[in-house]
Structure 1
Amino acid sequence: MSQPSPLDRHSVRQHVRHLRRALTSEQQEQAADRLAEHAVNFAPLASAEHVALFLSVDGELNTRPLIARLWQQKKQLYLPVLHPFASGHLLFLRFTPDTPLALNKLRIPEPPLDIRQMITLDRLDVMMVPLVAFDATGQRLGMGGGFYDRTLQNWRQHGFLPVGLAHDCQQVDRLPAAEWDVPLPAVLTPSRLWQWE
């Protein structure tokens, strides 16, 4: 497979981030509520005990309504934390209503690093994954740091289901894929569920 030019990926990333940030606060709020409604009825999530997700930044679909619903259902939730020694890797730590959060070097809120609150990937049931854009084949374009591409590399062996979360406007016809990209088996948007496996 020929490598896409970084320019292609950059322009898609810029364009979709612009679309996402152009949504009004009312549109953002409605999208987040609709997505939470769909997500709790999505069978793999409904039956999951341990769920990793993320806190939204930069116009990403707001995960707070979904988090509130999952806490009501007594699910154990986990947030990504930048690995302190393995650069470019993530750890997942327990997230409760009482967890204090601090901004990391990427200006993303994360829980304090506490080994007692960490979960290994093979104990997760579902991982909600942020993305900038996705296409009709499940190809995902992230922010460019590769954190989730590394985390998702062997998701089948770990036994969790990765699910992208996105606004409807983040779907594009075709993404320029690179060899390290890991396609998603499912993406949830406010209007529908996309599944490829």
Structure 2
Amino acid sequence: MPVVISSNSSQSSRNSIRKAIRQARRDITPEQQAQYASAAATLSISALHKLNVSKVALYLTNDGELDTKPLIEALWQAGIEVYLPRLHPFSVGNLIFLRYDKNTQLQQNSLNIWEPKLDITQMILAHELDVVITPLVAFDKQGNRMGMGGGYYDRTLANWQTIGRPMPIGYAHDCQQVDSLPCEHWDVPLPVIVSPSAIYEYQPLAAAIPAS
């Protein structure tokens, strides 16, 4: 069930929401995590097939997030290229994306998140991706997304509607939904969010991703 939180536009409210939702997802048992991850992967693959994508970026799970491993395996089996974000080595606050397969070497970054070791031969520009499946702390009934506050994905996705790619799709537990989030002008709303129980379409999935 969604967590019900009374919110306003203050920073303290944003911090309170982050604290409550992060605790809610940490309380999910390992058995539930496995069940939810499998269900969300099945829904996601169905949605991605409708979009006819070939290149998808997503994240490696951290801090109770909805586990992406089943989805990654499903993407590989479907012949879809998988990419992971990495903190930009020169531009603070930005991300780059590198191809990910079973032989990719990983390392922990300054945020204690696993990311690919830097290899420019495996790098892709963000606008060459079809979809970026984004982590989030909370989402609301209008498709607004709240992250950890670093702004990495907001910067990456700031112009996606102008050029039509990469389309962002949120990925989250059902308990991460709230009625309404306090939003800032730089927050990028999500057209689609996948949870273990539903695909929330705030913009129709049928909206085509422009051809490469």
Alpha-carbon spacing, 1:91–1:179, altered in 2? closer, same or farther (3 Å): same
In structure 2, C-alpha distance between the alignment counterparts of 1:163 and 1:44, rounded to whole Å: 14
Q: Find the partner of 1:130 among 132, 135, 142.
A: 135
With the length of structure 1 as denominator, give the TM-score of the two structures: 0.96
Tell me what 1:183 maps to: 189
1:91-110 correspondence runs (5 A)? 91-110=96-115
1:20 and 1:170 in contact (8 A); partners too: yes
In structure 1, C-alpha distance between the alignment counterparts of 2:91 and 2:17, rounded to whole Å: 29
Moved over 2 A (4+): 43-46
97-106 or 3-12, which moves further after superposition?
A: 3-12
1:45-56 correspondence runs (5 A)? 47-56=52-61
Q: Which runs of 5+ in 1 are unaligned?
A: none
1:11-160 correspondence runs (5 A)? 11-43=16-48, 47-156=52-161, 157=163, 159-160=165-166
In structure 1, C-alpha distance between the alignment counterparts of 2:49 and 2:23, rounded to whole Å: 31
1:169 aligned partner, one-letter code = C
For the pair 1:161 / 2:167, whether they are aligned, the reply is yes
Q: CA RMSD in A?
A: 1.3
In structure 1, C-alpha distance between the alignment counterparts of 2:182 and 2:174, rounded to whole Å: 19
2:190 aligned partner, one-letter code = L
1:135 aligned partner, one-letter code = D
With the length of structure 2 as denominator, give the TM-score of the two structures: 0.89
